[in-house]
Amino acid sequence: MAEHEMYFASEAQLRQYKARKIITQVLLYGFLTLIGLFIIIPFYYMIITSLKSTTAYDNEQIRGELVFWLNQTNVSVEQYAKVLSKGGDFGYFYLNTVIVAVASTAFTIVTTIFASFAFARVDFKGKNFIFMILMATMMVPGEMMILTNYQTALSFGWKNTYAALILVHGVSVFYIFYLRQTFQQIPNELFLAAKVDGYGHFSYLLKVMIPIASPTIVSIIILSLMGAWNAYVWPQLIASGKNPRFGNSMLLVSNGLMAKFQSSEFSSDDPAKITGSMFATVPLFIFFLIFRKYIMRGVSRSGIKG
C-alpha cells in the first residue's frame, strides 16, 4: 500500500479516492487529446491538400466535401512543381529568412545574456528602477512601436536591408526577464567563491552561469528562431523591395509567398497556395519536433528554485 493510502480511514474511502483519481486522469487525457486533434487535423489537411490535383480539389469544393485521404483519382504533385518553378525568387526567400533568423537570434542571445546577468548579479545604482521600466514596456502593444521603429530605420538608411530585419528586434524584454529568473536561481555562493578564486564578471558568466543556464538559453534560441521565421508585419513594412547594394529581393518566406500568391496566376489556385504555406511551415515544424525537449527542459527549469 502506498504511503498516502494509509491516511484513509476505511477501504470504502480508498476505493472512492482511486475512482476519482481514474476519472480525473481520463478527463485530463481526453481534454489533451481533443486539443491535440484541433492542432494536428488542420496541419494534416494542409499536407493532404498539397498532394491533390487542382481538378480534384475544385470538385470537392463544388460538392461541399472535406476529403481527408488520398487515392489514385485525386493524388498529384503538380502543385509542388508549380510553386517551385513559378514562385519567383523562392530561393532568395528561404535564404533571407535563414540569414535573418540566425543573425537576429545571435544578436538577441548576446543582448539577453549580458542584460540578464547585469540585472541578476551586478550591483549598480538604479538597477531595480531600470528593470521596472523595462518590464513596464511589456505592457505596450508591439504595434504601437512599429511607426517609431520604421522612422528610426529610415533615418539610418536601413530600408530593404538586413540591418533593419536583424537589429531592430535584437532586444527582447521578455527573454531578459526569463533568463534573469534562471540566473537568480543559481546560488550566490558560487558567485562569491568565484570572486575569491579571482574570476571576473565575464569569466564567471562564461564558465559558470551560461553552462548552468544552458537549457533556458537553448529555449530562448529556439523561440527566437521560430519568431524570426514567422515574422510578417515588420518585414513587409521595411523590406518589401530589393536590396540597394546587392539587388536581390529582401522578402522573407511568408512575405514572398503571400506576394506571389496574390498574383493573377495563383489567385484562384487554392491547392498551390496551401502548398506554399506548407513549404513555409514544414521546416519550422520539423525544427520544433527535433528541439522540443530543450524547450520543455528550459521551461521546467525556470520554475525550480535552488
Q: Are residues 157 and 210 in the same domain?
A: yes
C-alpha span between 267 and 252 (Å, rounded): 20
Least-confidence region, from 190-194, 237-241, 252-256: 190-194
Q: The whole model's pTM is what?
A: 0.77
Query: What is the tens place of the pLDDT at every residue in 72-90?
Result: 666 777 777 777 766 566 7
C-alpha span between 81 and 79 (Å, rounded): 5
Query: What is the tens place of the pLDDT at every residue in 96-150?
Result: 899 999 999 999 999 999 999 999 888 888 888 999 998 888 888 877 888 888 8
Identify whether 82 is part of a domain.
Answer: no
Number of domains in the chain: 2
Query: What is the tens place of the pLDDT at every residue in 220-246?
Result: 988 898 888 888 888 888 888 888 777
Full residue range of the structural domain in which residue 162 is found: 87-302
The CATH number covering residue 232 comes to 1.10.3720.10
Query: What is the tens place of the pLDDT at every residue in 11-43?
Result: 777 788 888 889 999 999 999 999 988 888 888
Terminal alpha carbon distance of the chain: 32
Identify whether 8 is part of a domain.
Answer: yes
Identify whether 155 is part of a domain.
Answer: yes
C-alpha span between 193 and 50 (Å, rounded): 59
Confidence at residue 291, expressed as pLDDT on a 0 to 100 scale: 77
Instruction: Give strand pairing partners of 249.
Output: 242
Q: Are residues 101 and 64 in the same domain?
A: no
Q: Are residues 131 and 222 in the same domain?
A: yes
